[in-house]
Amino acid sequence: MDTPSGKTVLSGIQPSGSLHLGNYLGALKQWVELQESNTVYYCIVDLHAITVPYEPTEYQSRVLDATAGLLAVGIDPERSTLFAQSQVPAHTELNWLLSTTTPLGELERMTQFKDKQAKQREKSSLGLFAYPVLQAADILLYQAHAVPVGEDQVQHIELARDIAKRFNNRYAKIFTLPEAYVPKGAARIKSLTDPTKKMSKSDESEKSYIALMDEPEVIRKKIMSAVTETEPVFSFTDSGPAVQNLLQIFAAVSGETHEAIEKQFAGSAYKTFKEALADVVIAQLTPIRERYQELRADENKLKEVLATGREQAAAIANPTLAAAKEAMGFLV
């Protein structure tokens, strides 16, 4: 879809592990831009993140880390509603209502479920299976038109759209049909150690991803040791997958065109290219890391931001929930 303007936008991110360059280029950069000319809701999806093993005694800290991270990348609470999912009970209530009209077969097709289930085997829970229904509730409560996400989430947004359609046909036309808004080029940033996998914070190897809060020397080391193909060819179409990934990162971070980048590095050694890539990534992430450290130090301020967000979010979500319940025949 074209860049939304004058629309309602909602997205979510899990408070698990550190935010990484894939999150930033695939989603968060768009979140920041969309604040300019849309009504935006950004949700820290703490109920989603407990569908895989987590540590309860550290969980409050993880949610505050995510809050500080989102503020550090440029989410502005004056222009965005930034809140924690578990603090707005309408999400879990709509989740139940929607689950009763979602066919099992549709959930069984979700690739994220299949991947996560394969990793957890018999430990995987009903919550992990129902994950996309809760995600649909997140989106539909705010009547979002556009959902900025990386490519891995498109299937979930399409399911949310189908859930909304089914509800509107069966009961009453309550929900806006949402659409995914996926950035060009940076929609799927790959692991630095294995370009067949996406960059992910749950990867065992820390070398595979660049965390937004990594120190400059760490970023440089990770980039210098990123895998490449044998021949140094710099082409967005003809390089191997590892180098194409590094080129995509260069383009997304620097904002330069593919042609300019190919021209700049034609005939260069990998070392020269990687040094230049490290320079642009470090220049982009350093101010984010510095702002994060400052923001993370003031927990009361972070909690205040979430308290304001929670009220603003509930003021929109509760009436939508009431309308859905009424349409389903409940006493409200």
Binding residues (CB under 6 A) for ligand TRP: these are: 10-14, 45, 48, 135, 138-139, 147, 149, 153, 156
Binding residues (CB under 6 A) for ligand AMP: these are 13-14, 22-23, 26-27, 149-150, 152-153, 187-189, 198-200
Closest CB to ligand TRP among residues 159, 226: 159
d(CA 177, CA 96): 19
Least CB distance from residue 183 to ligand TRP, whole Å? 14
d(CA 172, CA 328): 8
d(CA 38, CA 234): 37
198 is annotated as an active-site residue: yes
Least CB distance from residue 22 to ligand TRP, whole Å? 10
195 binds, among ligand TRP, ligand AMP, none (CB under 5 to 8 A by kind): none
Closest CB to ligand AMP among residues 22, 132: 22
Is 131:112 a contact under the CB 8 Å cutoff?
A: yes
d(CA 231, CA 243): 10
d(CA 51, CA 255): 36
Closest CB to ligand TRP among residues 139, 313: 139
What type of residue is 21?
L
Least CB distance from residue 292 to ligand TRP, whole Å? 20
198 binds, among ligand TRP, ligand AMP, none (CB under 5 to 8 A by kind): ligand AMP
d(CA 50, CA 62): 12
Residue nearest to ligand TRP (CB): 12
Least CB distance from residue 49 to ligand AMP, whole Å? 8
Dmax (CA) for the chain in angstroms is 71
Closest CB to ligand AMP among residues 97, 247: 247
Q: Quote the tokens at residue 291.
A: 């702002």
Q: What is the CA 55 to chain-centroid distance, rounded?
A: 21
DSSP 39: E
φ and ψ of 72, to 5 deg: -65, -35
Residue nearest to ligand AMP (CB): 26
274 binds, among ligand AMP, ligand TRP, none (CB under 5 to 8 A by kind): none
201 is annotated as an active-site residue: yes
Query: CB atoms < 10 A from the CB of 101, how many?
Result: 14
Closest CB to ligand AMP among residues 48, 310: 48
In the chain the first and final C-alpha atoms are separated, in Å, by 37
Q: What is the CA 265 to chain-centroid distance, rounded?
A: 31
Closest CB to ligand TRP among residues 151, 256: 151
Location of structure tokens 């993140």: 49
135 binds, among ligand TRP, ligand AMP, none (CB under 5 to 8 A by kind): ligand TRP
Residue among 7, 190, 198, 222 flagged as catalytic: 198
Residue among 116, 207, 303, 325 flagged as catalytic: 116
Least CB distance from residue 167 to ligand TRP, whole Å? 17
23 binds, among ligand AMP, ligand TRP, none (CB under 5 to 8 A by kind): ligand AMP
Distance (Å) of CA 37 to CA 32, 107, 146: 11, 34, 13
Catalytic (active-site) positions:
116, 198, 201
